[in-house]
Each structure stands twice: as structure tokens, then as C-alpha cells.
Amino acid sequence: MSPTPTLTLPAHDLTSESPRTRGVLEQAKKQVGFIPNMYARMVNSPGLLETYLFGYDRFRKESGFTPAEQEVVFLTISRENGCHYCVAAHSTLADKFSGVPREVTDAIRDGDPVLDPKLRALSEFTRALLSKRGFAEQSDLQRFVAAGYREEQALEVVLAISVKTLSNWSNHLFDTPVDPMFADRAWEPAEAGAHSA
């Protein structure tokens, strides 16, 4: 799929011989209800998966964004990073659990402008912060705040970018296969003209 070298480390499950690996996977299963292919591979570095799970949980619970807004942030980052796995996963979550209108999800997947003004401002600020490596311009922040977001939430976007960097880059290194539950929303970076990370 990509020119990135693919790691050959194994996928782990709850029968792993390592108590630490099992413990992290048990925590993951408790948080999301199953062990996604991504987690089964990320746990080859238990600290990586622990850090991801902690940050993901804090963003979901404390960011002040609605579930739909959270998905817009995660989907925008994953699309910009060219992560086939996370775009499929967050598209599915957007469609089935987070209340994101399908046209918003599809616009982000396709790299098109989001029609909803508030979600567009959120997606555009997220994209600006990511593409400018944190050096967003004052006008980027002003549009974000003018759309109804608090300045503190700019830092929550930084948290989301951090979390998605962990998962997106791990998925690049593993070429992680998409779980069957996300397969209906499979996505390839070339389809939407995203750059390869």
C-alpha cells in the first residue's frame, strides 16, 4: 500500500505471555469494548499504547467538544496524515455513534470544504495547526474562536494531534489491516489526494 517499511512485529491478544502487554490490552478492551487491530500492534511498545489510551480518554472526556466535534477533529487529522486505518475507523464512529452528518464526514474524507460553518471552522483550525506544525496564524485562531470555541480548546486540538500522531504513524509502520467493523468506510490516501505520511 505505501512505500513505508512495514514492521514484522506480531499482533498481540489477551493470551500474550507478557503480563504488561496483557494488562494494557485489558485496559484497552475495557475502554472500547474490543481490541482493535491497531491496539494489537501498538502494544509491542506498551508505553506507546498506554500513552495513546490515556490521551484519547482525556480528549473524549475533557475536551469540551461534542462527540461529533471530536470525530471531526480526529477524522481531519487522520485524513491529513494519510492514515487509511484511522480514517475508516473514525468515519464509522462518525456515522454510527457520534452524530456527524454523513456529508460532513464525506467532505473531510474527500478533502472538500465542510458546509456546516462551525464544524468547518473546527476542521480548518485542526488542519492549520497540523500543517503549520503548531505555528497557526492569529487569523486561524480568530476564526476558531469566532465560530464559538474557547481558546483552551485550541490546546485540546493539540492533544488530539498528539494522540493521532501516535496511532497514525504506528499504522503507517504496520500497514495495519482495517477491522471488519470499519471495512464499509475503507479509505485509501490516493482516493482523496492526501499526501503519504
Helix/strand/coil (H/E/C) assignment for every residue in the chain: CCCCCCCCCCCCCCCCCCHHHHHHHHHHHHHHCCCCHHHHHHCCCHHHHHHHHHHHHHHHHHCCCCHHHHHHHHHHHHHHCCCHHHHHHHHHHHHHCCCCCHHHHHHHHHCCCCCCHHHHHHHHHHHHHHHCCCCCCHHHHHHHHHCCCCCHHHHHHHHHHHHHHHHHHHHHHHCCCCCHHHHHHCCCHHHHCCCCC
Q: Residue 127: is its pLDDT beyond 50?
A: yes
Most confident of 30-34, 67-71, 191-195: 67-71
Compute the mean pLDDT over every residue in the chain, rounded to the nearest whole number.
Answer: 93
In the structure, what pLDDT confidence band is assigned to residue 3 with cuts at 50, 70 and 90? low
| Nearby residues of 27 by Cβ (< 8 Å), 6 or more positions away | 50, 53
Q: Residue 60: is its pLDDT beyond 60?
A: yes
19-191 to CATH, choices 3.30.1370.60, 1.10.4190.10, 1.20.1290.10, 3.30.450.90: 1.20.1290.10
pLDDT > 90: what percent of the chain? 92
Q: Find the Cα–Cα–Cα–Cα dihedral 156, 197, 171, 30, rounded to 10°.
A: 10
pTM of the model: 0.92
Average pLDDT over residues 80-107: 96
What size, in residues, is the chain? 197
